[in-house]
Structure 1
């Protein structure tokens, strides 16, 4: 939601960015969309688990559905700035596009290479052609 608000200057009326007291309605829509995507949720997922997620989101904590969670909150909580990209890539899998309508395929490929331990070498090779001109 924060990316949608920042990059697209668009909000859901029933979100905290649109003036609602919490983002429960939008979070339920998000979960419903995710449930329709094969392979994103574990086999044990159920409507009861979805209800538990919403209930958890209403707790007074850093991820409360009653307050905006921005980039710095995510980095601070997870202690890892890469989590931002991982969440954006998850969002792209659910919504079909990344923030601002961007295609995150290249970023996903880069992240996969990094996780496989191949990022540094391929980055040096790809970057060398930029500086040899």
Structure 2
């Protein structure tokens, strides 16, 4: 069975990817997390995934340069401090929560989706 390739943004400790991989149908090919402690944990949980530290500098070109030419799924738990009642309440356009737009940008660049008919897949 061909597994769907996952790009995990704002990965944290990798909860989304862990859940997806445990279904048996997904493989995490790249993670992006700015927190150093979390990146160390992610490197143990996903030793075969490429690791990136800043979503703002991640591009389709950079992924392709690193051998990741296509992903099927983009997941991301973008920072919610700006929209949280416990946070600064700056709203969705706040400096942290506004990073949701990076998911939108990368989705536009990468155009993730199901494998095309007849297309063979291998895990990067």
Q: Which protein is bigger by CA-based radius of gyration?
A: 1
TM-score normalised according to structure 1 size = 0.31
Higher relative strand content:
2
TM-score normalised according to structure 2 size = 0.33
Higher relative CO (Cα under 8 Å, sequence separation at least 6) belongs to 2
